[in-house]
Amino acid sequence: MQDERCYCERRVSELAIVYLCLGSNLGEREENLCQALTLLSLKVNLDEVSSIYETEPVPIQNRDKEQPLFLNLACQITTNLPPVELLHLAKEIETSMGRVPSGQINSPRPIDIDILFYDNKLMETQNLTIPHPRLKDRAFVLIPLAEIAPDLVHPKLGKSIAQLANNVEGQKGVRKYKGGFDVSAICGRAL
């Protein structure tokens, strides 16, 4: 019987390999990550999930107020959704989980879902840049991503994720919080 949530019958050759970063620093952070993964798994194949890392928030410009620590993880998905439709799905999930656009970059949020890589695609539109334009400077993205895709090569920089993670500033602000999720339990199938 086909698991409709995970599109298990689709041929792998038709699907794009995509890497996402999820983060949460409001509410029940770990539960928010799990809920977002579950909602993603209703529309895409959830293939691999990193451990969860607790990370320092990126400072908000012109704001002195401290914000809570983030929990972050990286995941690999496969999907037949084009990049812009995947972005719409991510934004729908964020909104359904209570994220309200604040107009400020790096503001606190119950969930944040970023598209890091979409196959080897290079793309730049007003709303979406692939690869994610700031991932090379973000330890909270590179360290979880290196756990699941160390040999993935950044198509613009020509360096592996492991190389980027080893050289990124801010590594001390990223601490392992908990081991990876059991993808089969979330997705309802054995991998």
* Spatial separation of the C-alpha atoms in residues 48 and 186, rounded to whole Å: 11
Q: Which residue has the tokens 């001390």?
A: 172
| Alpha-carbon distances of 108 from 27, 44, 47, 98, rounded to whole Å | 10, 26, 28, 12
Residues serving a catalytic function are 99, 109, 112, 114
Main-chain phi, psi angles of 89, to 5 degrees: -60, -45
CA torsion angle for 172, 135, 109, 68 (degrees, to 10)?
10
* Spatial separation of the C-alpha atoms in residues 168 and 135, rounded to whole Å: 10
DSSP letters for 136-168? GG-HHHHHHHHHH-TTPBPTTT--BHHHHHHH-
